[in-house]
Amino acid sequence: MANDVPQRRLSDVADLRGGYAFRSRDYTDHGHFVLRTINIREDGSIVHEGATFISEELASEHSRFELEPVDTLFVMVGATLGKVGFVKDCDLPALLNQNMWVIRSKDKKETHPRYLNYWFQWKVKETLHWASGSARGFVRRDDYRNLEFPSISYQEQCAIVSFLGSLEDKIELNRRMNVLLEQIARAIFKAWFIDFEPVKAKAAGATSFPGMSQYVFDQLPGTFVNSELGRIPAGWDVIPIGELIQVVGGGTPSTKNPGFWDGGVHPFCTPKDMSRLRSPVLLHTERHITDAGVNKISSGQLPVGTVLLSSRAPLGYLAIARTPVSVNQGIIAMLTGEIPDSYILMWTKASMEAIKSRAGGSTFAEISKRNFRPISALRPDNVSLQAFGAIVDPSFDLIAANEQETGVLETTRDTLLPKLISGEISVPVVNGGGDSE
């Protein structure tokens, strides 16, 4: 594909349609899904978190706003202006809400919908400066209808889609694997340390427990005692989390002092960094500080394995640091010592209701270290704790490795996409190209 490839107007190959302004009083707890801007993730996938619905009767009256598989979505106004989504079969049925356009191929055998999506992702980055409006930026549909679209063969489009799709397939596989690994870790934690299934089994006369080594099972108590947390295995303790581990906070070196920031190489974590995590492992941060910046923070640089909890704006993000990191005042850091960091991560997640109940703040919920440290935590025997860590910690190692690989794949995709779309580099068309969604 050459750089001087013939061009057509986008409106020649695709329709651009707006959504419908459903009213809040139309929404119900169930029914027909209404896709809003908050349902489009940064990676373009669709999520049903915070989903809203309308009745099937009302949906039938607005069927012209029904989305189709392989539609491209574009947020054209507001704080998330420029976000691009892609609709899959699993996202449907759904109706399109206001503040978005759907970009739909007129002929899917002439303009590959996924190629159209890739092309639009690239083009949006070049055109967002067109946005106008003082309060809420927006772009005009006619400007986008007149964009020049490359007139390349369907086979060439398929070759590009196949190449970029192979990268995204691996990214998606990593994401699904990480979700499964975390679910398994939570399930083991719940079975061992919330429901006490191995101890209950032993108390009932069992001689072993699935997934637990015989040595660990033999060390378990076979009876229960009362505690402030309810019935717990005999010999296990309930102590304040601040006595089980070391709890520290952070701070922000003055941004007016370049000596703390310019040329910094040490990761500096804020709740904003944690909000972007797809898995509960922290590998990178947006900003970095210098040695002087690290020394300005009372907790300094925290080691790998530190468990991080955002304590405000909002309260509740969680991660294990997989790089030495300094934190700001919006994070509670937990240095786990001899306790497996995976146990503390799972405990914090399981205790979130108790944590939030101790939060204060008039504008937004915030928990201080003073209110966090007294929260009661279960202290199992060392054998059970270390066995849990031996089983679960490798899962978080794999989660971190998958996230690292995903970052490389995403960088590769984002680097190659504009070069492929513009024709700067080309992908060989094998056997005339194949059709791939």
Q: What is the pLDDT of residues 25-69, one digit of tens each?
A: 999 989 999 999 999 988 888 988 788 999 999 999 999 999 999
Tokens of 165: 């799709």
Q: Which of 96, 127, 152 corresponds to the end of one domain?
A: 152
Domain that holds residue 92: 8-152
Residue 299: other Cβ atoms inside 10 A: 17
Q: How far apart are CA 305 and CA 278, in angstroms?
A: 18
Looking at residue 3, what is its pLDDT? 56
Q: How many residues does the chain have?
A: 437
- The answer to whether position 185 is within a domain reads no
Together in a domain, 140 and 257: no
Nearest alpha-carbon partner for 282 in 318, 330, 310, 253? 318
Residue 260 to residues 1, 300, 321, Cα–Cα distance (Å): 48, 13, 22
Together in a domain, 22 and 148: yes
Residue ranges, the chain, pLDDT below 50 = 1-2, 432-434, 436
Q: How far apart are CA 415 and CA 81, in angstroms?
A: 22
Beta bridge partners of 266: 289
Read off the pLDDT of residues 59-111 as tens digits, 9 standing for 90 and up: 999 999 999 999 999 999 988 899 999 999 999 999 999 999 999 999 999 99
Q: How far apart are CA 309 and CA 317, in angstroms?
A: 6
**Cis-peptide, bond into residue 69, ω within 30° of zero:** no
Beta bridge partners of 366: 312, 360
Q: How far apart are CA 433 and CA 113, in angstroms?
A: 15
Amino acid, single-letter form, for residue 414: D
407 contact partners, CB below 8 Å, separation of at least 6: 283, 284
Q: Which of 363, 379, 395 corresponds to the end of one domain?
A: 379
Together in a domain, 246 and 147: no
- The answer to whether position 348 is within a domain reads yes
- The answer to whether position 142 is within a domain reads yes
Together in a domain, 253 and 138: no
- The answer to whether position 280 is within a domain reads yes
Beta bridge partners of 325: 302
- The answer to whether position 425 is within a domain reads no
Looking at residue 134, what is its pLDDT? 59
Strand 331-335 to 307-311 pairing: antiparallel
Q: How many CA atoms lie within 13 A of 365 on its CB side?
A: 13
DSSP 320: E
**Backbone angles phi and psi of 285, in degrees to 5:** -130, 160
Question: Which CATH number do you get for residue 41?
Answer: 3.90.220.20
- The answer to whether position 304 is within a domain reads yes
Give one DSSP letter per residue of 314-360, joined into a string.
Answer: SEEEEEEESS-BEE-TTEEEEE-TTS-HHHHHHHHHHTHHHHHHT-B
Q: How many domains does the chain have?
A: 2
* H helix or E strand, kind and range, residue 9: strand 7-9
Amino acid, single-letter form, for residue 301: Q
Residue 125 to residues 83, 188, 248, Cα–Cα distance (Å): 10, 44, 41
**Cis-peptide, bond into residue 394, ω within 30° of zero:** no
Looking at residue 50, what is its pLDDT? 80
Q: Is the dihedral of CA 393, 398, 401, 407 positive or negative?
A: negative
φ/ψ region of 70 (left if φ > 0, alpha if ψ in -120 to 50, else beta) reads: left
- The answer to whether position 363 is within a domain reads yes
Tokens of 355: 């944590």
Q: Which of 379, 395, 415 corresponds to the end of one domain?
A: 379
Widest CA span in the chain: 79
- The answer to whether position 252 is within a domain reads yes
Together in a domain, 12 and 144: yes
Looking at residue 373, what is its pLDDT? 98
